[in-house]
Amino acid sequence: MSTNTQVFEGGFANPVMGAQQIFRALMDAMANPGRVFDVPELVAAPAPLTPVMAAIAATLFDHDATVWCDKSISASKEAIGWLKFHTGLELVSDPAAAQFALVKDVAAMPSFEAFAKGTSEYPDRSTTVILQLDGFEGENVLTLRGPGIKDTQDFAPSQLPKMFIDQWTGNRAAFPRGIDLIFAGREALAALPRTTRVAKKEA
């Protein structure tokens, strides 16, 4: 372990209130797919983790959580050290064995098929994938429909996984199995649960 003290700094100043605030935003985001919720920067973690990404990790992970990190995160000793110190998570090398996945490099991420989709008996035993974004003003606008959305919801994440609409349609087809996505922007977050239908926005 590096003696770099960066690893030990920057956790929630008030762990209970901080985690509750982020958890509330995550619940609202899951209940309202594609809607963007503002969150303050409550933690400071080593690069490449952004404050929102790290705050979500500090909120959701504990010693029992199995987490897969993409290359650009796992290559940072400081980032991994920070996650271990502040959450106690267990790192796994197989995304299919992970309850959560942290993805910094969205374009290069594994296909959705690589993650755990859960079983028909336990669809909850699936991977929740957390994607780190620049923001929600991307060029490509998606139209979302489904539970939690009154008519339609526009959603324009700055980055998207490759072949996103096809991949997501495949994910939808496996319902009730499937992965859920959380998007960690800058001072904001959003989510796409497996129930949401996605299409390219008609011009």
Partner 1 sequence: MTRDFQEMSATADAGRKAAMALLAQATADEMTRFWSVWTDKPEVETLRGPETGLVMVRGRIGGSGAPFNLGEATVTRATVRLGSGAVGHAYALGRQGEKVRLAAVFDALWQDDAKRDVVEKTVLAPIAQRLDEELRTKRAETAATKVDFFTMVRGED
Partner 2 sequence: MYVAVKGGETAIRNAHKLLADKRRGDRSVPSIRLDQIVEQLALGVDRVMAEGSLYDLELAALAIKQARGDMIEAIFLVRAYRTTLPRFGYTLPVETAAMAIERRISATFKDLPGGQLLGPTFDYTHRLLDPELAADAAVEAPEERVEETHEPAPRVTDILGHHGMIETDGELPEGTAPGDLTREPLAFPLERDLRLQALARGDEGFLLGLAYSTQRGYARSHPFVGEIRIGEVEVELEVAELDFPLTLGRIRLTECQMVNQFKGSAKQPPQFTRGYGLVFGQSERKAMSMSLCDRALRARELGEDVTAAAQDEEFVISHSDNVQSTGFVEHLKLPHYVDFQAELDLVRRMRAEHERRDVQETAE
From partner 2, partner 1, none, which one binds at residue 203 (CB under 5 to 8 Å depending on kind)? none
Please pick, from the candidates 15, 71, 134, 162, the single residue that binds partner 1 as defined by CB under 8 A: 15
Among 1, 13, 107, 203, binds partner 2 (CB under 8 A): 1
Distance (Å, whole) CA 128 – CA 101: 6
**Residue 121 CB, nearest approach to partner 2 (Å):** 13
**Pick 41 or 154: Cβ nearer partner 1:** 41
Q: Does 172 bind partner 2 (CB under 8 A)?
A: no
10 Å CB burial of residue 120 (0-12, 13-18, 19+) is: exposed
Determine the straight-line distance between the first and last CA of the chain, rounded to whole angstroms.
52
Please state the closest distance from residue 89 (CB atom) to partner 2, in A: 9
| Beta strand segments in the chain, E | 37-38, 66-69, 90-91, 100-103, 128-132, 142-145, 153-155, 180-184, 188-192, 197-200
CA angle 14, 134, 147 (to 5 degrees): 80
User: Could you tell which of partner 1, partner 2, none binds residue 15, using a CB distance below 5 to 8 A set by kind?
Assistant: partner 1
Minimum separation from the CB atom of position 8 to partner 1 (A)? 5
Contact footprint for partner 1 (CB under 8 A): 3, 5, 8-9, 11, 15, 85-86
